[in-house]
């Protein structure tokens, strides 16, 4: 199986690294192109993959073609490769806002297409990727694509109408979490903790809390209540967060993110 990447930025490199480490593809079976030549050459050297001369070479060479470019460049890239893509090729997209219907319009024909929304924790093997596909993709082909995506995290098949919500709750949400960690660390520094230690404590607390949600199966509210002793320190902090509209701010931010994704 040959896998190609059009676009070789951070997300593409995270995906490629995961695929190679999993043993599902050899580095020699992966080809990529990026208009940023220096970045492409660096990725080729670091990961051992093949560097293509242009988009069409990737489309000709690969069985699975990942469009790892920004949403605004999709139409131009598809116009460039649509006559090169074979009927057996599987197109995998990773950009928000680009629907299966719109992709088919740009290709001008039915192409096996898998729409995905990964996130940056893929860079450390902890990604979360939503997946949906058109009717041209068989169950076995979808299974193959999911196997590649699972090499750098977890996947879940969703209905396409959910993709904009996925962008908010998973694709963009690492940014919110990083802001939370930064704020927690700043407060710890105010309390006298060295900054390096503050980041470690804050990040590990977030990581551990997330793992508790995933592994215990308990409702987040129940887990929160477990930390809040009567008249204790935690419930006082929760009171201040509620007074400041913490949960409402998160909901409003994610709602704005969903709306932006819908209108891209």
pLDDT one-digit tens code per residue, 113-162: 999 999 999 989 999 999 999 999 999 999 999 999 999 999 999 999 99
Same domain, 126 and 192: no
The last residue of one of the domains, among 111, 145, 162, is 162
Say which CATH number the domain at 198 has.
1.10.3730.10
* Rounded Cα distance, 116 and 142, in Å: 11
**Is residue 24 over pLDDT 90?**
no
Backbone Cα Rg of the chain: 21
**pLDDT, tens digit, 9 for 90 and up, residues 213-260:** 999 999 999 999 999 999 999 999 999 999 999 999 999 999 999 999
Percentage of the chain beyond pLDDT 70 is: 100
Same domain, 136 and 56: yes
Same domain, 69 and 39: yes
Same domain, 51 and 132: yes
Same domain, 27 and 122: yes
Same domain, 242 and 210: yes
Extract the tokens encoding 154: 């977890």
Mean pLDDT value of segment 80-107: 95
The last residue of one of the domains, among 162, 188, 223, is 162
Say which CATH number the domain at 54 has.
3.40.50.720
Q: What is the predicted pLDDT for the residue at 151? A: 93
Same domain, 19 and 105: yes
Residue carrying the six token digits 């898998």: 114
Which range marks the domain in which residue 108 is found? 3-162
pLDDT-derived band at 264, boundaries 50, 70, 90: confident
**pLDDT, tens digit, 9 for 90 and up, residues 150-199:** 999 999 999 999 999 999 999 999 999 999 999 999 999 999 999 999 99
Please count the structural domains in the chain.
2
């Amino acid at each position: 199986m040959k896998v190609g990447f059009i676009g070789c930025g951070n997300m593409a490199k995270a995906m490629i690294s995961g695929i190679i480490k999993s043993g599902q593809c050899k580095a020699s079976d992966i080809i990529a192109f990026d208009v940023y030549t220096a970045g492409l050459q660096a990725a080729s050297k670091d990961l051992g993959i093949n560097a293509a001369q242009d988009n069409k070479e990737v489309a000709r060479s690969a069985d699975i073609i990942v469009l790892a470019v920004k949403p605004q460049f999709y139409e131009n890239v598809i116009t460039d490769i649509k006559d090169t893509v074979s009927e057996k090729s599987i197109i995998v997209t990773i950009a928000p806002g680009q629907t299966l219907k719109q992709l088919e319009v740009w290709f001008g024909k039915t192409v096996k297409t898998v729409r995905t929304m990964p996130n940056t924790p893929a860079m450390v093997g902890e990604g979360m990727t939503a997946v949906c596909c058109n009717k041209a993709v068989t169950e076995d082909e979808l299974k193959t694509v999911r196997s590649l995506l699972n090499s750098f995290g977890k996947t879940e098949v969703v209905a396409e109408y959910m993709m904009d919500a996925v962008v908010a709750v998973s694709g963009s949400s690492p940014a919110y979490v990083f802001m939370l960690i930064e704020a927690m660390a700043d407060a710890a520094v105010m309390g006298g903790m060295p900054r390096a230690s503050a980041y470690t404590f804050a990040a590990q607390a977030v990581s551990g809390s997330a793992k508790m949600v995933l592994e215990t199966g308990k409702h987040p509210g129940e887990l929160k209540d477990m930390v809040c002793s009567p008249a204790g320190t935690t419930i006082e902090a929760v009171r201040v967060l509620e007074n400041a509209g913490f949960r409402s701010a998160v909901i409003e931010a994610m709602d704005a993110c969903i709306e932006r994704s819908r209108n891209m």
